Every structure is written in structure tokens, then in C-alpha cells.
Amino acid sequence: MEPRIGLLVFPHVQQLDLTGPYEVFHLAHGLTVDLVWKTREPVTSTTGLVFTPTRTFDDCPPLDVLCVPGGAGINRLLQDTATLEFIRRQAEGARFVTSVCTGSMVLAAAGLLEGKRATSHWAARDLLAAFGATPVAERVVRDGKFITAGGITSGIDFGLTVVAELLGQVEAETVQLGLEYAPHPPFDAGTPASASPDVVATARQRTAESRATRERIVGELRPEWRGADQ
């Protein structure tokens, strides 16, 4: 039977967090991929693209790989009992439990990353420590069966990593070639360490509201946490 991958889809998901690995998984020969949510009603991403779930929490079979993307919508998921229970239930038997970007915060809120090394988008990575995880500034981090990816575009790196684990390196490289994935960005501004101070300041300003909301939620979930610098 083909390994089954389920990607959580939810209102205000960051579409590239979802579609990056989704594209990788679908190009691979030998995987079954579903979009999973509470209902099959279409959901709208942060950028307005609409996705239709193919499975619900109730009819989703046991998954070999569970993946939680990130986006503004994770703020609600951090306190969403039904979603957290679904993740815990699927995580028990999954071969890999994974995330892209701020999706790792949802895994952490479900109690799955305590004592684990994990990553997230640079603007939220430190918040993982409130849930007992060890934040790591890398594109893809594996700790046992948990694989977490950094911000947004790292979802493609993550997808290829998972394909290699499930189907072998040759299949992963074949998918990479099919995607012509040979990134060579025009600017060296992809991380706070490489971007200019002015660019970093602007980026932080644009995420300040979401950051404040997440800090409040994390403070409610983990009252002992006092926050930290990004």
C-alpha cells in the first residue's frame, strides 16, 4: 500500500507552506496525498487562494505522514481542541509527524515537541521554547519521527527530505529535477542574519501584530513563560 500523507488545511493557511510540499509529494511516484480539515467545505488561504479538503477528521484513515503547515490561521488552532486531538490521535501511529513554518507551533501546542529539537519561521521560532522544545535555526530539523521545516519556502526542502525517507534518494532527486529546484535568489536577504538591518526592521514591523497575538496565546497556554527576544 502506498504511504499516505495528510496535510492539514485550514482557514488562513499560508498557501506556499501547503502547496510547496504538496507539489513535491504529488510529483513523487508512490504516494497518496490528502488535504484534511474538519469538513469538506472550501477554505481560503491568507492570500485568497481557495482549497477544498479531500478528507475530514472523522473519515481520515491512519496517516504515514502528518504535516501541519503554518500561516495566520494557526493562532486559532493553538487553542482548537478538535484539531489538537486529531493531531495527537494521528501522531500516535504515524511514521513521521511534520510541519512547515509556524505549523510547528501547533505540534508544540498539542504536546508533541517537548524535549525535541524543532524549527519554525524565524519570527516565531523562539516561541517553541515555551512548550519545552529546543528551537533550532535550520531549514529542516529532524528529531526522531518529528521533522519540522523553517519558514515557507523551506517546505520544498522538507518535502524532498520526506520523499527521500519514504521512497529513496533517487526518487527525491527525480522530483527535484522535475521541479527544476535549483534556487539562486537575486538577493541575499532570506534570513535575519543575511538581510540588512533596515529590511529586518521592516519585516518585523509587518509581522508585529501577529507576533503580539501569538505571544498572548502562548502566555495563556503557558503562564510560566515570560517571552524572549526574537
Task: Extract the C-alpha cell encoding 107.
Answer: 505540534
For residue 101, indicate whether it is catalytic: yes
CA distance 83 to 21: 21
pLDDT at 227: 59
Global confidence as pTM: 0.95
Q: Tell me, what's the pLDDT at 215?
A: 94
pLDDT confidence of residue 229 = 46
CA-CA distance, 27 to 53, in Å (whole number)?
A: 19
Q: How many CA atoms lie within 13 A of 76 on its CB side?
A: 9
Catalytic residue among 77, 87, 101, 156: 101
Regarding the domain delimited by 4-184, which CATH topology (the fold level of the hierarchy) does it fall under?
Rossmann fold (3.40.50)
> What stretch of H or E contains 201?
helix 197-206
Q: Which residues of the chain have pLDDT under 70?
A: 226-230
* C-alpha Rg value of the chain to the nearest Å: 17
Q: Where are the domains of the chain?
A: 4-184
Q: Please, are residues 10 and 73 in contact by the beta-carbon 8 Å criterion?
A: yes
Tell me, what's the pLDDT at 224? 86
